[in-house]
Structure 1
Amino acid sequence: MLPRIRRFRNVTLLLFASTALISTNGINPKADQGYPLYDNEQEWKANFPKKIDYCEQLPSPDSLYIFLMAGQSNMAGRGFVEPEDTIPNKRILTIDQSMNWIYAKEPLHFYEPKMTGLDCGLSFARALLDSLPEGISVAMIPCAVGGSSIEKWLYNRNHRGVDLLENYKSKVAFAQKYGRVKGILWHQGESNAKIDQIPAYGQKLDSLIAIFRATVANDTLPVFVGELGQYTQPVDKQQRWDALNETIREVANGDSNIYIVETQGLTHKGDYTHLDSESLRELGIRYAQRYLGMNESLQ
């Protein structure tokens, strides 16, 4: 299946040059890379699960809805994990680093152990269970890696020790043995929100989604694309984020199975880049609402 070619209108930006460094008390100087805003690893991981609960019995394949989580740090998760985020539900599954099925507790991602935190996956699954039939279980498969550009995904480049596209493909192949892939949650773009990269982003996203779907063998697989946040600084950086958001909306306008997940009202954790815990939980709910709003049978 060849990626579709679509022309995107040029995005005109009025940007102001800026080299200012934003400084805030208590912010780790590496926060832009996703490092925790806490004094030490022990404090950051205070509520991480102490025990892994392996699945006692898997649901039947027809009753296991599988969702892939892909993108960069705001999908990989940089939020602080609270005790409420580690309460398991036997209808919500995920995998560990060794590809064992476990009952989901945050954090779900494991590729960047020094930076990982709360993501939106568990809140997404919990929101789905409120509306799905009782016999349905949900599996969240983590594939996101912080700081990854769309080019690295598209051309299967190694990023922070992960061959991005190949890792996605291997997770799909594994998951499809146990259930049905129902959608992809995608949040990425901060690494590509640059003046010279925004005009080509739409075509690259379109091509990558075509590959994602071909891997699942479903050319109408729903893909849920989260907007970049509306909280960054300085002003010219937010303008670039807004322009990239306009580009992904153009992609969605040309594909009835791509759904935009809005970020209006969400807040960052103090670094103007990464969503805070409350916003990540809300983002998961918004992804779920977009899935539940589709015109398809949930049976």
Structure 2
Amino acid sequence: MKHLFAFVLICSATFAVADEPASRPQLPEKENFHLFLLIGQSNMAGRGTVEPSDKEAHPRVLAFTKANEWDYARDPLHFDKPIAGVGLGRTFGLEVAKAQPDVTIGLIPCAVGGSSITSWVPGGYHDQTKSHPYDDMLKRCEIALKAGTLKGILWHQGEGDSNPKRAPQYEQRLNELISRLREELDADDVPFFVGQLGQFEERPWNEHKKQVDTAQQNIAKEQPLVFFISSDDLGHRGDEVHFNAEAYREFGRRYAEQYLEQASK
């Protein structure tokens, strides 16, 4: 009877493993590994509630881990703070993979919750997380980009600059960031996607949030290969700051739709 029980256990384990992808993904050729950089603050990192489906592995959607290794993309992708959860990145990757079956998608999560755009500069420091958002991002990109080809930069940030001191300089600083990234990452032809700040009825925008929003929309109109993604009708998780999981997934689809539209041209 013992032997029969052991045999059943072994068979069960075998079938369970067979249903999952390999423990470590096999990377494709560099030109078929399309990489996307995820940067900004908490609404890029994601704060949505994680469900079992958010942890399912897709064989062609990978993420660069905290340990600087490629693995299957499972939420939370980010590790900036313990409260990291569902964000827009994984859904973005799934949608692009579905539309482009011949490539593998690689997500490089580098967002830092609470970070102002003033910390997204060389040497910039973020006290909440004791990190250097820009410098840390460059170090991760240096490793990640050896395996694939950068195809897009996804940005969601601005809440940390929606105040009287920083909002007036936001447009200049975002322009400078985009130019710096293009130079540092050799990304002159890489599209840059700017997600709109959350629009929640319970917390109407003040003049400073409006100023940041105007700056983002202006840059998308004036700069080539910069695209603005609307946050219309996306709900929050109850804190009037962060999107809920459903909204993050929808936001990811909107980013993907915009990327696929420009990629088809």
Counterpart amino acid of 1:245? D
C-alpha distance in 2, partners of 1:294/1:153?
A: 26
After the TM superposition, which parts of structure 1 deviate over 4 Å for at least 4 consecutive aligned residues? 51-54
Q: Give the 5 Å matches for 1:236-255.
A: 237-255=205-223
C-alpha distance in 2, partners of 1:261/1:204?
A: 19
Q: In structure 1, what is the equivalent of residue 114 of structure 2?
A: 147
Q: In structure 2, what is the equivalent of residue 265 of structure 1?
A: 233
Q: Deviations over 1:181-232 (max 9, x none)?
A: 0010000000101133222100000001111111211223210000101116
Q: In structure 1, what is the equivalent of residue 253 of structure 2?
A: 285
Q: 2:191 matched to 1:228?
A: no
Alpha-carbon shift at residue 64 of structure 1 (Å) = 0.4
Q: Point out the more displaced range, 211-220 or 62-71.
A: 211-220
Q: 2:250 matched to 1:274?
A: no
Q: Structure 2 length normalisation: TM-score?
A: 0.87
Q: 2:101 matched to 1:137?
A: no
SS at match of 1:293: helix
* Percent sequence identity over aligned pairs: 34
C-alpha distance in 1, partners of 2:236/2:207?
A: 17
Q: In structure 1, what is the equivalent of residue 11 of structure 2?
A: none
1:53–1:162 CA distance, 2 compared to 1 (3 A): farther
From the two aligned structures, give the one with the greater helix fraction: 2
* Structure 2 unaligned regions, length at least 5: 1-19
Report if aligned partners of 1:149, 1:192 keep a CA contact under 8 Å in 2.
yes
The number of equivalent residue pairs is: 244
C-alpha distance in 2, partners of 1:153/1:217?
A: 18
Report if aligned partners of 1:54, 1:101 keep a CA contact under 8 Å in 2.
no
Q: Deviations over 1:38-83 (max 9, x none)?
A: xxxxxxxxxxxxx997423111101000000000000011000011
1:52–1:141 CA distance, 2 compared to 1 (3 A): farther
Counterpart amino acid of 1:60? E
Q: 2:31 matched to 1:87?
A: no
C-alpha distance in 1, partners of 2:102/2:203?
A: 48
CA RMSD of aligned residues (A): 1.8
Q: 2:171 matched to 1:206?
A: no
C-alpha distance in 1, partners of 2:24/2:44?
A: 24
* Structure 1 unaligned regions, length at least 5: 1-50
Bigger CA radius of gyration: 2
